[in-house]
Amino acid sequence: MIRLAAVDMDGTLLNPEGRISERTARTIRDFQNMGRELLICTGRSYADAMEPLKEWGLSAAVACMNGAALYDRQGNLLMSRHMEYEQVGWILRCCQGLPLLFDFMTDQGSVTINTEEDLHRVFAAGFQFPIAAYSLENIKRRFRIVPLEELFDQGLTFYKISLIQADTRVLEEAERRIQADAGLSVAASDPYNRELTHKKAQKGWALTLYAAMKGIDLREAMAIGDSENDRSMLSLDLRYTVAMGNAMESIRKLARCCTRTNGEDGAAYALENLAMYRLAAAV
């Protein structure tokens, strides 16, 4: 029986418009009403992760910023893994000279060292964010710009750093340089970013920890995702690992099952048929 479902957010739980559909909301509610645990595993901050849920009056445990922080269903912080200033400095030195957009996800919201002119240059180069919520206007509104020389004087706690670029060759070079530090985890949620966190700040690690806290064996759990930042949880020995129909090819090859796309309520379909359907639930 499935007692715990870990579900990615963008490209998985959310439809192409960045929202939870009516069917998916109903499935989540029914799943939780059966006494099952839902763990949202996302690269978003906690506040950003809660917005689509609140639209339907839903709540859930959340492993946010790729597992850098873990919250229970009531919003209590259970665990956090942040980067040390030395690691952030290492990343900046590695990326020196590369034309990158930086998103520092911190305890004080999203911060960037890029100027507004930098943002315009990124979009002028043809870059398009994978979901409509991350338009140039939204990015400018969401980011707080801090000059590089003042970055470490703000008292910030760094949970995740996203490097963004339209030219994937630049990202590949940045990743090659950064991976010399074994204390960092490097993942991606789409071809145009690299997401950097503490080595133990991974979705799979957060899922394993949450299951242990709830006394749930991993063979009673399932995970659903679509991109490389879901690899750590889809690589676990769970009863079901599910790739979305819109998932990256590498993720479709990794997962044991494949469901419909996020435009077709694929996450809800997987929950209904693998965890809630009477015969499947009895296994």
* pLDDT tens-digit series, residues 207-263: 999 999 999 999 999 999 999 999 999 999 999 999 999 999 999 999 999 999 999
Give me the pLDDT at residue 283, please.
45
* pLDDT tens-digit series, residues 170-219: 999 999 999 877 789 898 888 888 999 999 899 999 999 999 999 999 99
Q: SS3 string of the chain?
A: CCCEEEEEHHHHHCCCCCCCCHHHHHHHHHHHHCCCEEEEECCCCHHHHHHHHHCCCCCCEEEEHHHCEEECCCCCEEEECCECHHHHHHHHHHCCCCCCEEEEEEECEEEECCCHHHHHHHHHCCCCCCCHHHCHHHHHHHCEECCHHHHHHCCCCEEEEEEECCCHHHHHHHHHHHCCCCCEEEECCCCCEEEEEECCCCHHHHHHHHHHHCCCCHHHEEEEECCHHHHHHHCCCCCEEEECCCCCHHHHHHCCEECCCHHHCHHHHHHHHHHHCHHHHHC
Q: Which domains does the chain have, with CATH numbers?
A: 4-81+201-282 (3.40.50.1000), 85-198 (3.30.1240.10)
* pLDDT tens-digit series, residues 63-105: 999 999 999 999 999 999 999 999 999 999 999 999 888 999 9
pLDDT band at 129 (very low <50, low <70, confident <90, very high): low
